[in-house]
Structure 1
Amino acid sequence: MYLRKVLFLTRTACCNVSKLQAPSYSRQKVWLIAANSARFYSAENIDKNKETKDEKVDILGRFFPQAPLNTEDAQQIKKEQEKFEKENKEKSEENEKSWRRMKMGFAVFGGAMTVMGTCMVIEMGAPRRGDDGQIIEDEFSHLPSVLQYLRRTWKELTFYEKMIKEPSREKLLPDPLPSPYQPTYTLVLEFTDVLVHPDWSYQTGWRFKKRPGVDQFLQSVASSNYEVIIFTTENAFMIWPVIDKLDPENKFITYRLFRDSTHFVDGVHVKNLEGLNRDLSKVIVVDWNKAATKFHPQNSLVLKKWKGADDDTALLDLANLLQTIAMSEVADVREVLTYYGQFDDPIAAFRENQRPPHKELSFNGYLNVYNPP
């Protein structure tokens, strides 16, 4: 009885265990089947891609056949590669040498500038000594030695800068002569492109072409109570011999002023009429550059720049205008010049009988210049 119950319980337990293990076996089989199928699929695709790739290579090979390289071609390619590598190596070495030379050049230049600057400070910053050899006290003597030298050097440099930018002297002309030897009016003329025009060629070098009527113009104004002054922004060594050719006996041109008599402002050499030592109510400046006379525009008569035209008559008309002013004894020429300064071409306006309103004086057929009431 007991034995039968034990056998029954044992069989029941075994059946239950088999039932529990059956699903796990089925799951394992499912996972195995899935893994095998994935592996089979990947292997199949790899084979297909390989076949496709081989097929593509074969197709390219059909259309672009490549012959196998022989020994000579391989040696030629090798030589070209070696030559290319050698050229690159030589180029890199040359670049390194150039960079080394450049650094050495900068070092030498920097050393030279340092030595030159030190010598300049020592020379220009040294204290001044009297005739007896004693040091002359100045405004920097109470400072330390290094600052003394630096401050004196800076003062000297600014002094030289002032010499470049300002006129070489405060009074450009001597005092006027006593009456009746001193002319009433002062005519200041720009030389280049007003009286002459510079021209250069390979055959002749620099030459100066005289403006039509320049000789008659100078003779006319010099005999019409004018003190004629050449005031040009050119250098003296270049223009002086040309003026000698234009007026060899110094009959017409009284004084000559050059670039060293101008102010250098904003890159332009400006003529300051204050240094002429003349009454500005009797000074007339004739120029083609308005910027060169910007300190005194009311005294300026700005003409068009002459470029060498042979049919030009501006100087003859200008001589008539200046003669009219002188013969009319105008008290202040700035009133007349201000009126004509409103025209782009004052000579053309004078030629066309343009005149100041309500103030006229007839002279030689011109109604342009007047005496103020």
Structure 2
Amino acid sequence: MNQIKFEQTNKTIENESVQPTRKIRRKLPNKSLQLLKEPTKQQQFYFEFAKVFEKTKKKIQRTRQLVKLLPKQRKRDRGKITLCLDLDLTLIYSQFTPFEGYEFTFTLQNKNGTHNVYVKKRPFLEEFLTRCSELFEVVLFTASQREYAEKIVNWLDPDRKLIRYRLYRNACSMFLGNYLKDLSLLNREISSIVIVDDVPASFCFHKQNALQIPPFTMKPVNGQKTLDISDNQLQAIMKILLQIVKNGNALKTISQIRSSQKKKLKELKRKSSKGTKKFHKKKKHFSLKKLKNKNHNNKNNTIENENIQSNNHQIDNIEIENTENEFERKSSSENESESDIEMGFILDRKRKKKKKRLRHIFSIL
């Protein structure tokens, strides 16, 4: 018996050792689970980026120390702030099919074959580039291929006077399936770099140095997609860049501008909330007025209906009385006529009797 018990205990210990240890998993809130079920591309990117960035931070720092994309600043550009500009949807709009108002075309050869590319400049682009070349060290930093971007840049700057350096997809760092623009690889101080781009994922390593511009794309107007010719986003960004030049520090000026924008947004939200409250109060007031007016109108309508009904009843009574009087008149006239006829017959009888009597008398005489 003791041996059997000992064997049973050994079997239980072995089974416990064989069972795998369960990993403790943190329960995510409902919102994050919803994002994991059906995330968009940007949500998926930022969600994965938050997980992986801490693990790969050390590796990225090592590669930053080794790689340098730009040489040292020239004597002409010393002391200037480096301005990194994106190409597609920030400076130009391109498409494989022709559209109204295109300004430049070229053929592009790829693995898929040859394609015709149609390009249009963004409004106020030439003025923007000439002014920036005087104040900044301009660098074109794009995630598009070199064969495509180089032809467009040669068309925009044929003499190579406006844009100092050109960086293409090879200069971008691949991270989680996306091409990112790491500003720490430019061989410049981070406090003296500004990037202008329409995609927030491209400057996610350095959000403090970024100025996001709305994309220059086709928009529906009267049922047809067209480019907005009255676009003035480059002029608005030029005002911010002039403030950066006056202050001399990019990070401080951008942070100040963002803080002021946040304050303005809060004020607008407050005003809008107050306006909505007032609107709802006015709406309730008007709705109560409408209800009162409806009730009053309904009362008036009921009273009018009652008056109309009473008037109709009186009219009916009058009509009945009139008809009865007419009937009585007709009946009286008929009776009178009948009485007259009867009197006539009576008179005739009397006359006939008199004639007979007279005849009798004359006969006797």
TM-score (norm 2): 0.45
TM-score (norm 1): 0.44
